[in-house]
């Protein structure tokens, strides 16, 4: 079975002491298919240890008086190669709108960064059979006017919001149907070379089953990426 991409999203977790322990424990990982998205202030530790690093958010501005923001120009000048854009926590908790997600995607791509674009439906939207509508809206709005040559720098992470941190997962068949749907939406945008990841309650126990998913190129892992032993196990199964 082919090797998958594994992206760790640490969110706002771990102290510097815990990072040091984490780095020791994951030192066996040496694979370009692993991308670590730490809390941004810890990025240098992972870069110094040779990891591919992503930010969990990126500014749509280039530079200037934007307190607290990090621009893609700055990130790529440090060797940070990816940005997670449009994570549901940013959309929900920080009221990030589709037009901002789009501007961030364009700014990251224009400055040579890869983009991990998160899309997904809430519990209520799933119950109201609005999953496809939400995915189409989020993908179209985020990826409009993308240059064909940039599509290889984009990954879409399908993260059902109800699955994040809940231990609940869609059935494999449901995820596969969503992948087919996402590919249809992308095709209508003239895009055919974008990788698709799954995220939401991925752990060291379910990774073997999830690896069988057709059309899924990798995984975006939250909670289970914080424990180095669990994360190592996930990588061992997913990246071969």
Query: Given the rule CB under 6 A, which residues bind ligand 13P?
Result: 9, 87, 159, 164-165, 199-202, 220-224
Question: Looking at beta carbons, which residue is closest to ligand 13P?
Answer: 222
The residue among 170 and 200 lying less far from ligand 13P, judged by its C-beta, is: 200
100 is catalytic: no
Task: Report yes or no: 220 and 198 within 8 Å, Cβ to Cβ.
Answer: yes
Minimum Å distance from CB 37 to ligand 13P?
8
The residue among 4 and 87 lying less far from ligand 13P, judged by its C-beta, is: 87
What is the sign, positive or negative, of the torsion defined by CA atoms of 26, 33, 160, 140? positive
Q: How far is CA 91 from the centre of its chain?
A: 14
Minimum Å distance from CB 88 to ligand 13P?
7
Catalytic residue among 87, 102, 125, 151: 87
> Tokens 């996402």, residue?
182
Task: Report yes or no: 58 and 75 within 8 Å, Cβ to Cβ.
Answer: yes
Task: Report yes or no: 87 and 56 within 8 Å, Cβ to Cβ.
Answer: yes
* Two tokens, residue 240: 């071969």
102 is catalytic: no
The residue among 149 and 223 lying less far from ligand 13P, judged by its C-beta, is: 223
Minimum Å distance from CB 89 to ligand 13P?
7
Residues in the chain: 240
Which positions are annotated as active-site residues? Answer: 87, 159
């Amino acid at each position: 079975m082919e090797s998958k991409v594994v992206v760790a999203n640490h969110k706002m977790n771990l102290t510097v002491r815990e990072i040091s322990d984490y780095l020791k424990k994951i030192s066996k990982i040496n694979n370009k298919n692993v991308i670590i998205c730490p809390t941004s202030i810890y990025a240098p530790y992972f870069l110094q240890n040779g990891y591919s690093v992503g930010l969990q958010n990126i500014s749509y501005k280039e530079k200037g008086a934007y307190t607290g923001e990090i621009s893609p120009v700055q990130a790529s000048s440090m060797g940070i190669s990816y940005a997670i854009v449009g994570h549901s926590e940013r959309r929900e908790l920080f009221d990030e709108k589709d037009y901002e997600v789009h501007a961030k995607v364009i700014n990251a791509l224009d400055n040579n960064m890869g983009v991990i674009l998160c899309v997904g439906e809430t519990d209520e939207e799933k119950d109201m059979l609005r999953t496809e509508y939400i995915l189409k809206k989020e993908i179209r709005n985020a990826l409009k006017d993308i240059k064909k040559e940039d599509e290889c720098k984009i990954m879409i992470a399908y993260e059902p919001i109800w699955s994040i941190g809940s231990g609940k997962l869609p059935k494999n068949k449901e995820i596969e149907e969503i992948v087919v749907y996402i590919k249809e939406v992308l095709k209508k945008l003239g895009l055919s070379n974008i990788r698709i990841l799954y995220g939401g309650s991925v752990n060291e126990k379910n990774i073997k089953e999830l690896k069988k998913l057709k059309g899924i190129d990798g995984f975006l892992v939250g909670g289970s990426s914080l424990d180095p032993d669990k994360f190592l196990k996930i990588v061992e199964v997913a990246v071969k």
